[in-house]
Structure 1
Amino acid sequence: MRAGELRAVDVVAASLARIERAEPVLCAFVEVWAEKALRWAAGVDERVAAGVRLPLAGVPIGVKGRNGSRTASARALVAAGCVPVGATSVPGPGAPWQTWGLGADGRTVNPWRPDRTPGGSSAGSAAAVAAGLVPLATGTDGAGSVRIPAAWCGVVGLKTTNGRLPSADRTGLAAAGVLARHASDAAAYWRCVSEAGAVGGHHGVVEGGEVGGAASAGKEPESASAASQLSPPFTAVWSPDLGFADTDPEPASIAHAAALRRADTGLVRLVRPDAPARLEDPGPAWLALRAAPDTDPAAVRDAHELRAENDRRLAALFAEVDLVLTPTTPNAPHGHDGPGDRYSTALTWAFNLSGHPAMSIPAGFDSDGCPVGLHLVARHGEESLLLRVAAGR
């Protein structure tokens, strides 16, 4: 589109046509902004014709939830030339678990297995990207809400370092993220939000409230240039369970095979560090902090103590390795009746507490034909390292 070979209007119209065909079954959008998107695309074409450089001119995107276009990430993507085509689905009101979505036409389904959930809470964003309705969609990740749907829909999902991008989450547990079909597209997202000046070491809540995540914990995110100075092989430790999770054998085996393939290319080197990849179960701490200030004060104190202990263990581990690799989820996508007593967040929410950037990349498919994700975790501020490994370079 920047070269004038395509028009943004035509690209966005094609995206809207795909959405119209798929939505009766997929239900990935709660709102579709067809007329507004076409007007927006026409404006992009006019700016390109006038010589304005827009790095993502005319790229159709989904934004998570009805208020998704107000986020700093969405504004940065729009400034780069992206065209929001609609608001993607999130869980409906009163949901006891956050691994599904409710679109305008019904429950969001997994594009690979309609009888299974796409994950959540960035459900519609992952489903829309996986189904090819848009190449990119925004998300937020408070316990795995980008990475879990990325894993179960077979796409790339990046959770940024907590506190690096503005967030409306007062607990500091949620971080901005993106769902994309390719690692290069996730990298394009990261370049846009970085160049827009949205990234910083002490960003927190955008509309009042307390700064949360890594910044509030006194963790200064390391500069992106520090990660770019590293060169392969990147040292990595594999853990199927982080020392506590009840991980099913099949997703563990598929994710481990994906880690070994990365090692076979020379991109990563799997090592056995002196500091083991073993954490305390973060579940009780996450639940207590999420419910604060209504949580019992003793439970909050226990949560902070557990969080501090895991932070110490992770600091020792990242002093020896560049990456921690796990399955993204301990289980396969469940049906629409819910996960039962399983926490699909078991391997992801530890890094919402610690603030580390993390990413899910496709690892393969299980015996039911459902996608499995490989989970990559890096030091604070090293999104660029995750993106390099995800891209295989």
Structure 2
Amino acid sequence: MPLGVKAGEGVDSTQVRRLVAAGCIPIGATAVPRGTPWQTWGHTDRGPTTNPWRADRTPGGSSAGSAAAVAAGLVPLATGTDGAGSIRIPAAWCGIVGVKVTNGRLPARDAAGLNAPGPLARTSADAAAYLDVLLGTRLADHPQPGGPLRAAWSATLGYAEVDPAVAGPARAAADRLAAAGVIRWVAHDLALADPAPAWRALRAGPGDRAAAETLRAGNDRRLARLFAAADVLLTPTTGDPAHGHAGPGERMSVALTWAFNLSGHPAASVPAGFAPDGTPVGLQLVARHHHEHLLVRVIKGSTALSSA
């Protein structure tokens, strides 16, 4: 199967070596934005990487070229790495599937251990096969809970500002999953602390990490309580629709994604519909540590609904 490889990762990374051994054929390096602090927009030395849905919008990043190549049909799947949302954000804005595995299951690309690899793919089957190769698993054979998965919804995680243009389609997609019997809603009172200061402190390197670890521990406790009552957590993937090539302004595209780089939970984005401007919107799925098989179950249900 043809494979796009995220620029800067190379063919000697753990995930590329495993995919090649399984029969994938790398056909080219995909673009990563340069010159911007978050690498979620900006230009390469060949100009901006454009969103296949709207050329005046970014595909997100930093796995920008990988998502754009998959969405445009150049390759069926491509590699990504996700330190704050760098798989899930471009997956959301390009209308494809993107998965970040549990942090620590494979070597991280950053000293803080916040980065994790994963696929960008057009189909649930390709995403699941990629994860099996990457993790050495058979996710389809993993024991599954009987009946619909217990699901909790949060539009903001308790701290984020979210545009109704993305919250509406994401919630509608989640409700379709409930109506189809893929999930059933459970009540919860999840309200996380904004992970921004902890994420920044941990990425900054040696220094006073006490406050960061305190914030992280508090969020971990809140998430543990949630996942005692729910199998999956659903949110919008981003707080806003895809922005232009000049950048997002004061908006934080990572607002809903980097909480799960801090906590290490596996997380995915699946297509949820479209914002009023015609750009794709993502629905974020989050599961317990090492429960990627539950993400795959919901991804299959969501893509089946979108193709019906």
Match of 2:179 among 264, 268, 275: 264
Shift of 1:73: 1.0
Letter in structure 1 aligned against 2:12 = R
Shift of 1:101: 5.8
Helix, strand or coil at the partner of 2:19: helix
Show the counterpart of 2:216: 307
- Tell me the matched-pair count: 302
CA contact (8 A) 1:358 1:378 kept: yes
Show the counterpart of 2:258: 349
In structure 1, C-alpha distance between the alignment counterparts of 2:107 and 2:28, rounded to whole Å: 22
Cα distance 1:227–1:242, how it changes in 2: closer, same or farther (>3 A)? farther
Matched, 1:244 2:159: yes
Letter in structure 2 aligned against 1:249 = P
Letter in structure 1 aligned against 2:132 = R
Show the counterpart of 1:139: 80
Show the counterpart of 2:30: 88
Matched, 1:281 2:194: yes
CA contact (8 A) 2:33 2:49 kept: no
In structure 2, C-alpha distance between the alignment counterparts of 1:225 and 1:120, rounded to whole Å: 29
Q: CA RMSD in A?
A: 1.7
Show the counterpart of 2:225: 316
Shift of 1:194: 2.7
Show the counterpart of 2:204: 291
CA contact (8 A) 1:103 1:124 kept: no
Please give the per-residue CA displacement for 1:82-126, whole angstroms capped at 9, x wherever unaligned: 10001111121x422321264553210111011011000000000
Shift of 1:72: 1.1
Helix, strand or coil at the partner of 1:363: strand
Show the counterpart of 1:127: 68
Based on CA coordinates, which of the two structures has the bigger radius of gyration?
A: 1
In structure 2, C-alpha distance between the alignment counterparts of 1:239 and 1:367, rounded to whole Å: 21
Helix, strand or coil at the partner of 1:165: coil
Query: TM (normalized to structure 1)?
Result: 0.74
In structure 2, C-alpha distance between the alignment counterparts of 1:188 and 1:289, rounded to whole Å: 32
Shift of 1:184: 1.0
In structure 1, C-alpha distance between the alignment counterparts of 2:53 and 2:44, rounded to whole Å: 17
Please give the per-residue CA displacement for 1:199-254, whole angstroms capped at 9, x wherever unaligned: 8xxxxxxxxxxxxxxxxxxxxxxx96996332330000011000110011120010
In structure 1, C-alpha distance between the alignment counterparts of 2:45 and 2:197, rounded to whole Å: 34
* Sequence identity (%): 61
Map 1:62-73; keep pairs closer than 5 Å: 62-73=4-15
Map 1:1-393; keep pairs closer than 5 Å: 59-92=1-34, 94-100=35-41, 102-103=43-44, 105-195=46-136, 228-273=143-188, 276-293=189-206, 295=207, 297=208, 300-392=209-301
Cα distance 1:126–1:118, how it changes in 2: closer, same or farther (>3 A)? same
Query: TM (normalized to structure 2)?
Result: 0.94
For structure 2, list consecutive stretches of 5 or more residues without a partner in the other structure.
none
Letter in structure 1 aligned against 2:195 = P
Cα distance 1:102–1:64, how it changes in 2: closer, same or farther (>3 A)? farther
In structure 2, C-alpha distance between the alignment counterparts of 1:182 and 1:224, rounded to whole Å: 15
In structure 2, C-alpha distance between the alignment counterparts of 1:83 and 1:224, rounded to whole Å: 23
In structure 1, C-alpha distance between the alignment counterparts of 2:195 and 2:251, rounded to whole Å: 14
In structure 1, C-alpha distance between the alignment counterparts of 2:71 and 2:141, rounded to whole Å: 32
